[in-house]
Amino acid sequence: MKKVLVTGGTAFVSRYIAEYYVGKGYDVSVLNRNTKKQSDGVRLIEADRYHLGDRLRDLHFDVVIDTGYTAKEVELLLDALGSYENYVFISSSAVYPDNLPQPFAEETPLAENTYWRKYGTDKIEAEAVLQKRDPDAFIIRPPYLYGPMNDIYREAFVFDCAMADRPFY
């Protein structure tokens, strides 16, 4: 049985990821501070990702799915991990500047997006750290994610843009 580590696992995207892999029969661990209800079927690794110590050192994961935001978070997780086969970082299309034509491609240069500013530049820096330390890691850059359990200004942003007759990227 494949072992998956999901950072977070209690809100929106990371929760859906954890529950998806549980539903497929994987052995799923979630790394979080245990401040919210955990999904059924996951194994909790209770820790703050800024203070992991040796919590992960003796564990092996087939897949690590990281929903972090900053370069520091990626560095700390990589430093703390024992061993893993594949690392998947959930980034964002906010890494692309809003003045470039769409759809974006792999070769599209990364730069500040005037709408998402620090969120996007933090994701760019996190990607750079990951690519330097694990050139074989996977980076996924989804555009807007929306739906039940959405806890971030996403759907409202799209509707606010539409109401103000301004483009959104």
In tens digits, the chain (169 residues) has pLDDT values of 899 999 986 666 888 899 999 999 999 999 999 888 888 999 999 999 999 999 999 999 999 999 999 999 999 999 999 999 999 999 998 999 988 888 888 899 999 998 889 999 999 999 999 999 999 999 999 876 656 565 666 667 777 888 899 876 5
Spell out where 101-159 has E strands.
138-140
* Cα dihedral 83→7→28→56 (10° resolution): 40
Residue 5: phi and psi, rounded to 5, are -110, 130
Q: What global pTM score does this model have?
A: 0.86
- Angle 71-80/117-133 helices, nearest 10 degrees? 30
Instruction: Specify the pLDDT at position 37.
Output: 86
* Domain-wise residue ranges, the chain: 3-163
- Provide the β-strand partners of residue 46: 32
Alpha-carbon dihedral sign for residues 63, 68, 69, 75: negative
- What fold, for 3-163? Rossmann fold (3.40.50)
Residue with tokens 């692309």: 96
* Tokens encoding 112: 């500040």
125 CB neighbour count, 10 Å cutoff: 17
